[in-house]
Each structure stands twice: as structure tokens, then as C-alpha cells.
Structure 1
Amino acid sequence: MKHLRTVDDVMTHAVISANRRTPFKDIVKTMRQWRISALPVLTDEGRVVGMVSEADLLLKAQGGDESRAVSAGQLMTVPAVTVTRYASIAGAARLMARGHLKRLPVVDDDGRLVGLVSRGDLLKIYLRPDEDIAAELRELIMAELIPAGSAAVRVHVADGVVHPDGCIPDPSLNDVLVRVARTVPGVVDVTARLDVEVPA
């Protein structure tokens, strides 16, 4: 399985969007047709300027919006919160959590829409096979721990939980191992209880 590290690895590339002039009824029809709950609103050049969601439309339908907003440009939430395709999955997740967002438009360096990432997309990293996680961890351990001393560490991963065991020459390496393991995509938790090698 491909290592999933950036938004580009998990985003949806085909995105249904609106422009500022898209009428209220067309937005509703599009959402129903494609079974989506929000649309990015774009300029004619493809740059994201806002998001219009079911919540925005329902406010109008319930009579809570007394303005004469009838197009995407008038109904949309601004400014649009976006993320670049090169952002880390963890970074996008933090951005969503802080803003209580369900999805983020993904943009290129010029602010043009290139995709959309949802909460469900970000969770794909946890579908990574345990053996893939273990193999990457073994490589990292060789790079990070072995040069620090004669560490002899074995790694077992079950349901995304890392269970290392073995001997380390320095107790501080236990914390290093935990930090390294938590950077690996797909890791749910780490239970590191390693023995410290006592010099003879």
C-alpha cells in the first residue's frame, strides 16, 4: 500500500463546484444529484473564494436569512479555509478539528482548486496494513536507534498498535522510539516497554 503522508495522497481529485453566479436552486439540485453537502465557490480563474453548504441554504429556507441572497456568491461562507496538496495529513486534520470543518478545498500554489479532502479521506491512513507499518518502523529504528548504541529491538504491530520489545543501551531511547513510532502514518498507539541493557 502506498505510504499516505500528504493531502495529495488521500484527496478526491474530481470536485463539483459552483461559481459566484450559480443560483440557489441550481446549488440545491447539484447537491442532491451528487449527494454532497457543500460546494467550493470559484472565481472564473478557478480560485477558491468561499464555501456554500447545506447549513447556508437551510438558513435561507428556514427564514433565518432575511437578505436577498440568491446566488452562491451571496450565500457562501468566507473566507474559504483551504489546504495545499502538500500539507501533511496530520496538519489537515488539526485544521479541520480547530474549525469544526467536515471538508477542505485543496488548492495549488496559486489558490486554484485541485481537489477536496474530507474527514473520511484523512482516516484512510488507518487502513494501512500492520506489516507495512512494522516494516517502516524497522527501517526507522535502524536509522535512529542502532547508531546510538547496540539496541536490539523487535517490532510487532497489531491493529495499528505498535508493540516493540527488546534491549536498549540507554533508557532515554525508549522515549525516542515512541516519538519515532508516532510519526509513522497508520500508527494508533505505541506500547514501548523495553529492557535496559546493564553493562557487565
Structure 2
Amino acid sequence: MKHLRTVDDVMTHAVISVGQDTAFKDVVEALRMWNVSALPVLAGDGRVTGIVSEADLLLDARDTDPHRATTAERLMTRPAVTVSKDATIPAAARLMARRHLKRLPVVDGEGRLIGVVSRGDLLKVYLRPDADIAAEVRELIMYQLIPRGSAEIHVHVASGVAHLYGSLTDPTLEDVVVRAAGTVPGVVDVTADFTVPVAS
């Protein structure tokens, strides 16, 4: 069962980029050829130094001195917003939403480009089969959270909604179990119907 937890699990490894010395016209051609709106700009050692986008090109083209910025290095926006391959999917999604970005370059510990992650890539987690999600929720709850024999919990997942039911010996565990189930990749909501002891 594939657990989609980090950017590394969903990113695209084949990435189109340009070098710092790439000419204005060649940047335009690369954007057109690969049907993308922005490209990472790399230094000679593969580090991401900026992003050059259609917006950057259009701003330069409107300048009173046309094409004054003749290379990707002069055109690009810096510093580039990047994400680590070890970043969690929710963390990457928050960064993308906060910065209003459609995709992020993925870098290693040295800042070198190793992939790209898009909004669509991050949404792959919600395409997981319900059976896989249920198995992971069950494993998390029954083998990591709940002491053996202290609860009987059943898990059913339909369209990403996890339905938890059964009995708990400790009523304080209900909130913990529900919150934990909600952290499993692919879960869009959690409902619970537990039998718990009534305090005397």
C-alpha cells in the first residue's frame, strides 16, 4: 500500500528548466513548447536561483527599452519559492495557496532542482482507493494509538469520508481517534459513532 505523505511521493521528476544565460527568445520558446507558464532558472551547479514566468516576460516587453533584460537571470523573479522533497503534502499545499502559485520547484538539501510539484499532483492523494485509506486509518488507530484490547473500532471509508464506529473504554480517546483519522492522506472528513462508558 503506497502511503502518499510527502512531496517526493507525488512530484514529477522530469522537469524543464532554463539556465541563467538563456536568451529572452529561447525562454519564450521553451514556455510555448512545453505549454507551461513558468520555468525554474538554474545556476551551473543545478541550484534554483529564480523563476522566469510569462508575467516576467510581458513586463519586460512593455519596458520603454524593449528586451533590456536579455537573459533569464535578468528576467527572473528571485528568490525562487521552492519546496523540499521531504515536505508534507499539506505543507506544500499551504505554501502554494499562500503564494498563489500553480507549481513549485522541488529541491534537495543543497537547493538543486530534482522535480516539480503542481496543484494537480497534490490532489492525487484524494484519488487513493477507499480500501487503502481505510486500511491505513485502521492501522494508525488500532496498532499505534489504542492499547491492545482497550477498544473495538471499525472503519468504513466511502468517497474519502471515514466512518468510525465501535466501543471505547475511555471516552477521552474519541477526540484523539477522530483527529488522528483526519490526518491520513486521502481522508476528506471523519464521522464517529462510538459507545463509551457512562460516568457514574
Q: TM-score when scaled to structure 2?
A: 0.92
Change (3 A) 1:54 1:132: same
> Residue 18 of structure 2 contacts residue 27 of structure 2 at CA under 8 Å; is this kept in 1?
yes
Task: State the shift of 1:124 in Å.
Answer: 0.5
> Pairwise mapping of residues 168-183 of structure 1 onto structure 2 (< 5 A)?
168-183=168-183
Paired AA for residue 168 in structure 1: L
Alpha-carbon distance in structure 2 between the residues aligned to 1:58 and 1:195: 62
CA offset digits 1:82-126 (Å, max 9, x no partner): 111111111111111111111111111111110011111111000
Cα distance change, pair 91–182 in 1 and its aligned pair in 2 (3 A): same
Please give the alpha-carbon distance, in whole angstroms, between the structure 2 residues aligned to 1:93 and 1:76. 23
AA partner of residue 97 (structure 2): A
Q: Tell me by how many angstroms 1:149 deviates.
A: 6.2
Aligned-residue offset at 1:150: 2.4
Separation in structure 2 between the aligned mates of residue 180 and residue 149 of structure 1, nearest angstrom = 19
Aligned to 1:17: 17
Paired residue for 2:104? Answer: 104
Q: Provide the residue aligned with 1:79 in structure 2.
A: 79
- Segments of 5+ residues of structure 1 without an aligned counterpart are none
- Alpha-carbon separation, structure 2, partners of 1:11 and 1:64: 36
Please give the alpha-carbon distance, in whole angstroms, between the structure 1 residues aligned to 2:64 and 2:158: 51
Q: CA deviation at 1:176?
A: 0.6
Residues 55 and 184 (structure 1), Cα distance of their counterparts in 2 relative to 1, 3 Å cut? same
Choose 176-185 or 142-151, whichever is displaced more: 142-151
Larger mean Cα displacement after TM superposition, 20-29 or 139-148: 139-148
**What is the DSSP-based 3-state SS (H/G/I as helix, E as strand, rest coil) of the residue aligned with 2:21?**
coil
1:180 counterpart SS class: helix
Query: What CA distance in whole angstroms lies between the structure 2 residues aligned with 1:89 and 1:167?
Result: 32
Structure 2 counterpart of 1:136, one-letter code:
E
Give how far 1:145 is off.
Answer: 4.6
What secondary structure, in the 3-state scheme, does the structure 1 residue paired with 2:77 have?
Answer: coil
Distance (Å, rounded) in 2 between the aligned partners of 1:123 and 1:28: 29
Q: Distance in 1 between matches of 2:110 and 2:69?
A: 28
* Paired position in structure 2 for 1:26: 26
RMSD: 1.9
Query: Could you tell me whether the CA contact under 8 Å between 1:162 and 1:191 is conserved in 2?
Result: yes
Equivalences for 1:89-128 in 2 at 5 Å?
89-128=89-128
The one-letter code sitting in structure 1 at the alignment partner of 2:154 is: R
2:48 maps to 48
Consecutive unaligned residues in structure 2, runs of 5 or more: none
Compute the displacement of 1:65 (Å): 7.2
SS in structure 1 at match of 2:193: coil
Note if contact 1:169-1:198 (Cα within 8 Å) is conserved in structure 2: no
Counterpart in the other structure of 1:154: 154
Name the SS for the 1:186 alignment partner.
coil
How far 1:66 moved relative to its partner? Answer: 5.4
1:95 maps to amino acid = L
Identity %: 67
Return the alpha-carbon distance in structure 2 between the equivalents of residues 102 and 59 of structure 1.
Answer: 20
Partner of 1:120, secondary structure, is helix
